A and B are shown apart, each in its own frame.
Chain A
Amino acid sequence: MGDCDVAVIGGGLVGGAVAFGLARLGRRVALLDEGDLAYRAARGNFALIWAQSKGLGLPEYGAWTARSAAAWPAFAAALHEVSGIDPGLHQPGGFHLLLGEGEYLRRGELLARLHNQPGMPEGGYRMVGREELAKLLPDIGPDVVGASYGPRDGQCNSLRLFRALHLALGRLGGAYLPAHGVQALRFRGGSFEIEASGRTIGAGQVVLAAGLGNAKLAPLVGLEAPVRPQRGQIVVTRRTARFLDHPTTTIRQTDEGGVMLGDSVEEAGFDNAVTLGPISAIARRAVRIFPRLGALPIARSWAALRVMSPDGFPIYQQSATCPGAFLATCHSGVTLAAAHALHLAPAIAAGRLPPELAVFGAERFHVSAAA
Chain B
Amino acid sequence: MFRRQPETAATLSILVDGKPIPARAGESVAAALLAAGLSAFRRSPVSGVPRGPYCLMGACYDCLVTIDGQPGRQACQVPVASGMRIETKP
Contact = CB atoms under 8 A, between A and B. Distances in A.
Contacts of A296: 72
A297 B45 contact: no
A296 B70 CA distance: 9
Contact-residue bracket for chain A? under 10
A238 interface: yes
Contacts of B72: 238, 296-297
A240 to B, nearest CB: 8
B67 to A, nearest CB: 12
Contacts of B37: none
Contacts of B90: none
Nearest to A238: B72
B50 interface: no
Nearest to B73: A297
B71 interface: yes
Contacts of B71: 295, 297
Interface in A286-334: 295-297
Nearest to B72: A297
Interface in B41-90: 45, 70-72
A295 B70 contact: yes
A27 interface: no
Contacts of A295: 70-71
A296 B72 CA distance: 8
A296 B71 CA distance: 8
A317 B78 CA distance: 59
A239 interface: yes
Contacts of A257: 45
A239 B43 CA distance: 12
Contacts of B70: 295
B45 to A, nearest CB: 4
A126 to B, nearest CB: 36
A238 B71 CA distance: 11
A185 B72 CA distance: 52
Contacts of A238: 45, 72
A371 B45 CA distance: 58
A295 B45 CA distance: 17
Interface string A248-268: 000000000100000000000
A297 B45 CA distance: 14
Nearest to A258: B45
A257 B47 CA distance: 13
Interface in B22-55: 45
Nearest to B69: A295
A295 B71 CA distance: 8
Interface of B: 45, 70-72
The 6 closest A-B pairs by CB, nearest first: A239-B45, A297-B72, A238-B72, A295-B70, A257-B45, A295-B71
9 contacts: A238-B45, A238-B72, A239-B45, A257-B45, A295-B70, A295-B71, A296-B72, A297-B71, A297-B72
Given A238-B72, A257-B45, A295-B71, 6 more contacts: A238-B45, A239-B45, A295-B70, A296-B72, A297-B71, A297-B72
Interface of A: 238-239, 257, 295-297
